[in-house]
Chains A and B, each alone.
Chain A
Amino acid sequence: AQKVTQAQTEISVVEKEDVTLDCVYETRDTTYYLFWYKQPPSGELVFLIRRNSFDEQNEISGRYSWNFQKSTSSFNFTITASQVVDSAVYFCALNIYNFNKFYFGSGTKLNVKP
């Protein structure tokens, strides 16, 4: 069975702090894709990153970075020097290749205070 767990329900930080959002997934398949989405207070869902299971290279995009570790089935997301605009709910998701279902975690709400 496939499952995505985001154990952190809500995190509060002060602006300029670094923050890491955890994502742990479960699957027995060897080919799969992992995603992160952002849902700001306005409600839309914004794509942040897609990673396939054969690419464990970490990725950095500006203040955002992602750490993919197959050994621990984790795909964690770090925001460096957080800003108020980073306040949102963040979802991690799993998609199994050749199966057409997407599995989302329950989301982590990030509050960045000025």
Chain B
Amino acid sequence: EAQVTQNPRYLITVTGKKLTVTCSQNMNHEYMSWYRQDPGLGLRQIYYSMNVEVTDKGDVPEGYKVSRKEKRNFPLILESPSPNQTSLYFCASSLPTGAGELFFGEGSRLTVL
């Protein structure tokens, strides 16, 4: 089954404690990206990756890091989480831009206390 898998789905953490949200896709997609969803703001792109070792900033990259060492994985790293990073996070993958739709993971709800 084609899917994008995110872990953890739910996480409560404290300010400053580094965490990683993993994302894996089994569709051999080149393009992967991360979004955060906040009430009234829709989805905003954090980072994206066109292929292995190729990553770039989206609209709200501050406080986040990513890496793309393998085609299937695209982890999101919060080195020092702060309460304003409390949000619902989605990972997505697709064929090269415009060639297809985004396939989304189920979302990861993060709370930073």
A100 touches B42 (CB 8 A): no
Q: Mostly helix, strand, loop or mixed at chain B's interface?
A: strand
Selecting from B14-22, B70-78, B79-87, B96-104, the interface stretch reads B96-104
Least CB distance from A86 to B in Å reads: 19
Q: Assess whether B97 is in contact with A97, with CB atoms less than 8 Å apart.
A: yes
- Inter-subunit contact A105/B42 (CB<8 Å): yes
Does residue A95 face the partner (Cβ distance < 8 Å to B)? yes
The answer, yes or no, to whether A66 is at the interface (CB within 8 Å) is no
Check: A91 CB closer than 8 A to any chain B CB.
yes
Task: Compute how far the CA of A98 lies from the CA of B40 in the bound complex, rounded to whole angstroms.
Answer: 28
| B41 interfacial contact with A, CB 8 Å | yes
User: A92's closest neighbor in chain B, by CB?
Assistant: B42
Taking the nearest CB of chain A, how far is it from the CB of B111, in angstroms? 15
Cβ of A35 under 8 Å from chain B: yes
Assembled-state Cα–Cα distance A95/B107 (Å): 21
B50 interface residue per 8 A CB criterion: yes
Interface size of B by CB at 8 A reads 26
A33 interfacial by beta-carbon distance below 8 Å: yes
Enumerate chain B residues within 8 angstroms of A28, measured Cβ to Cβ.
none
Q: CB-defined interface of A18-47 with B at 8 Å, one 1/0 digit per residue?
A: 000000000000011101010000011101
Asked if A47 and B98 make an inter-chain contact with CB atoms under 8 angstroms apart, the answer reads: no
A100 → B minimal CB distance (Å): 5
B42 with A91: CB separation less than 8 A:
yes
Residue from the set B35, B97, B98, B107 with the largest chain A CB neighbour count within 10 Å:
B98
B29 touches A (CB below 8 Å): no
Could you say which residues of chain A place their CB within 8 Å of the CB of B103? 47
B contact residues vs A (CB 8 Å cutoff) = 31, 33, 35, 40-45, 48, 50, 56, 58-59, 88, 90, 92, 97-98, 100-104, 106-107
**Which residues of A approach B to under 8 Å, CB–CB?**
4, 6, 9, 31-33, 35, 37, 43-45, 47, 50, 52, 91, 93, 95, 97-107
A sample of 29 inter-chain contacts (CB < 8 A) reads: A4-B42, A6-B42, A9-B40, A33-B98, A35-B101, A35-B102, A37-B102, A43-B106, A43-B107, A44-B104, A44-B106, A44-B107, A45-B90, A45-B92, A45-B102, A45-B104, A45-B107, A47-B101, A50-B101, A52-B98, A93-B43, A97-B98, A100-B33, A100-B50, A100-B56, A101-B45, A101-B48, A102-B43, A102-B102
